[in-house]
Amino acid sequence: MSGRNDPAASQEASLTTAERLARLRLARTKGIGSATFSRLMGLYGAAEQAIAALPARARLSGRPVPAIPSLSQIEDEIARLERQGACHLLRSDTDYPGLLAGLPNAPVLLFAQGRTKLLSSPSLAIVGARKASSPALKLTEDFASGLAEAGLTIVSGLARGIDGAAHRSALPFGRTIAALPGGLDVTYPPEHARLQADIAQQGCLITEYPPGMPANARHFPRRNHLIAGLSRGCLLVEAARRSGTLITARLALSFRRLLFAIPGFPGDPRSSGGNDLLKQNQAILVEQFEDILAALDDAPLPDHGLAPWERPPPRQSSLFASMDDSIQRKTESNPAISAMPTQQNTSATGGNVWTSDEKNILSLLAHTPSTVDEIASRCQLSISEVAAILIELEINGAVQRHEDGQITRLH
């Protein structure tokens, strides 16, 4: 287990201990998701400055001051994680998974336990039905062990059925990652307690959720996001037409990952989703694990992107540019004013001017939370397109992203 809470582990040589702790405090503040974190870092350049400006920002926007974790709370959390053999992984840490970092909505903070170097190793997701058939489980075991022996790390979600078979078969090679729908100290499902403990020792556990957070149905889309984002490709073994497995498959396609499927028996509902993807030429038919190795060898590696606040500024005007010279002068003379939200899509009369896609997504949202996957399923856009639009809407104050990743409309 590498000590990823050491600031020397950061990709940024200039990241001090104080700034790293400040980033952890900011990332652990309720109501600050990846888009808001990126916006604040873009505005202030450092988490320490962003935290200092948050009270004024809240007062100016008429919102309650967010409950920012204290330095001692974060230090206590670090100590608890270290006792468990776990750690925080910030987006700027070298052990943060490179493929995941390339996504526009990559989580700012992850919690990891085990061999974190596996997170940036060549990997393949294997997902499928919880109530899988015996032949499907046997195929999963053969594929997972063959791929792991060949050097691929097997990623899955620690669920019953196909997930569990994939983890168990890759574990003897020390090459498996389990993405969790709750905290590292929470076991789900209960019968996988021994398997989860073994993966923590020989593989790696990863989650977006802090210690003590129970597994929740609302967390599964974010767990699926991790599974697809961590991997160069995704293998479907058995997947019904309406299943969480197909959510992972759609995410993999939207992330431009290779999608593989083992054809199933016609008429078996557990195979209908995968068979449909094969008929639509969205998945590559495979019969043996060597087919996957050959396809990955021929495919280019996905880009490892920079964090949004580390990217060069766009050629067009910044999202955070002042609307006129007077606001700019006030911002320069009073840093607290720079915390005021700015609008990119604003008319001369002060009202928002949304694009047709933004209007479409706003019409699908309500004051009750929706997941990104649910929104994408109701409109004619990919999950990655929806995620990008939601970031713009969040920046412009039209929607709120909750701690569990769900979205609500603000007005």
Q: Please state, in angstroms and rounded to a whole number, the distance separating the CA atoms of residues 406 and 7.
A: 31
Query: Does domain 116-298 correspond to CATH entry 3.30.420.480?
Result: no
Query: Rounded mean pLDDT of the chain?
Result: 82
Spatial CB neighbours of 18, under 8 Å, sequence gap ≥ 6: 48
Q: Please state, in angstroms and rounded to a whole number, the distance separating the CA atoms of residues 96 and 90.
A: 7
Dmax (CA) for the chain in angstroms is 70
Tell me the pLDDT band of 153, cut-offs 50, 70 and 90.
very high
Q: Please state, in angstroms and rounded to a whole number, the distance separating the CA atoms of residues 223 and 89.
A: 16
The better pLDDT of the pair 250, 327 is held by 250
Q: Please state, in angstroms and rounded to a whole number, the distance separating the CA atoms of residues 170 and 176.
A: 6
β 153-156/176-179 pair status: parallel
**Cα dihedral across residues 269, 273, 274, 278: positive or negative:** positive
How many CB atoms lie under 10 A from the CB of residue 194?
9
DSSP character string of 366-379 = -SS-B-HHHHHHTS
Query: H or E segment at 177?
Result: strand 176-179
What are 299-342's pLDDT values in tens digits?
Answer: 877 666 555 556 544 333 222 222 223 323 333 334 333 333 33
The three-state secondary structure class of 210 is coil
Q: Answer left, alpha or beta for residue 212, where phi above 0 means left and psi between -120 and 50 means alpha.
A: left
Which of 209, 283, 291 has its CA nearest to residue 249? 283
The better pLDDT of the pair 158, 392 is held by 158
Residue 342 near residue 317 (C-beta atoms within 8 A): no
What are 10-68's pLDDT values in tens digits?
Answer: 344 457 999 999 999 999 998 788 888 988 898 899 999 999 998 887 777 677 888 99
Domain boundaries, the chain: 7-93, 116-298, 343-409
pLDDT for 267: 79
Can you list the positions of beta strands (E) in 10-128?
A: 86-90, 109-114, 123-127
What dotted CATH number matches 343-409?
Answer: 1.10.10.10
In this prediction, residues 231-245 reach a mean pLDDT of 90
What are 175-195's pLDDT values in tens digits?
Answer: 999 999 999 999 999 999 999
Q: Which residues of 234-251 are buried (b: 16+ CB within 10 A; e: fewer)?
A: bbbbbbbeebbbbbbbbb
Number of H helices, E strands in the chain: 16, 11
The better pLDDT of the pair 302, 393 is held by 393
